[in-house]
Homo-oligomer: A and B are copies of this chain.
Amino acid sequence: MSNKIIYNPHVSVDCVVFGFDGEKLKVLLIERNIAENNELYNDKKLPGSIILADEDLDAAASRVLTELTGLKNIYLSQFRSFGGPDRTKNPRDILWLENTMQLKIGRIVTVAYVALIKINRKIQVKNDNTQANWYNLNEVTAMNLAFDHGEIIKKGLAHIRHNLDIEPHLLFELLPRKFTISQLRSLYDTVHQTNSDVRNFQKKVAQMPYVIALDEVEERVPHRAARLYKFKKNP
Binding site for B on A (CB under 8 A): 1-2, 4-11, 49-57, 63, 67, 78, 80-85, 100-103, 107, 109, 111, 162, 165-166
The answer to whether B11 and A111 have CB atoms under 8 Å apart is no
Given contacts A78-B80, A81-B81, A109-B109, contact A1 B101 (CB under 8 A): yes
Q: Which residues of B contact A103 (CB under 8 A)?
A: 6
The answer to whether B81 and A56 have CB atoms under 8 Å apart is no
In the docked arrangement, what's the CA distance between A84 and B57, Å? 7
In the docked arrangement, what's the CA distance between A11 and B83, Å? 10
Secondary structure call for the A interface: mixed
The answer to whether A85 and B56 have CB atoms under 8 Å apart is yes
The answer to whether A53 and B5 have CB atoms under 8 Å apart is yes
The answer to whether B85 and A55 have CB atoms under 8 Å apart is yes
Q: Which residues of B contact A63 (CB under 8 A)?
A: 2
The answer to whether B6 and A109 have CB atoms under 8 Å apart is no
Q: Which residues of B contact A2 (CB under 8 A)?
A: 52, 63, 67
Q: Which residues of B contact A1 (CB under 8 A)?
A: 49, 100-102
A52: min CB distance to chain B, Å: 5
The answer to whether A7 and B53 have CB atoms under 8 Å apart is yes
The answer to whether A11 and B101 have CB atoms under 8 Å apart is no
